Amino acid sequence: MTKTIALSLVIAASLGLSACSKEEAENNMDAVANMSDNAMDAADNAMDAAMNSADNAMDAAGNATDNVANAM
């Protein structure tokens, strides 16, 4: 889904650049590429954080189970 959004941004920006000079168009395309890269990196970071949180929750549940077993 994030790639679809990034691609949509690139397409929209490229359509808007059709009336610009070549240098302006290249600068703007670089800016759009950087924005899409940043958006994809942010999505990857959010996914990594969610996975780490899930792993931590599973570890905590495992530790709680071990603590109960050790108390017996």
Range of the domain at 29: 2-71
- How many structural domains does the chain have? 1
Q: Tokens 């109960």 map to which residue? A: 68
Q: What does the alpha-carbon distance between residue 64 and residue 10 come to, in Å, rounded to a whole number?
A: 48
Task: Output the CA angle 32-8-27, nearest 5 degrees.
Answer: 20
Whole-model pTM: value is 0.56
pLDDT digits (tens, 9 = 90+) for 23-72: 777 787 888 888 888 888 898 999 999 999 999 999 999 999 999 989 88
Q: What does the alpha-carbon distance between residue 2 and residue 41 come to, in Å, rounded to a whole number?
A: 10
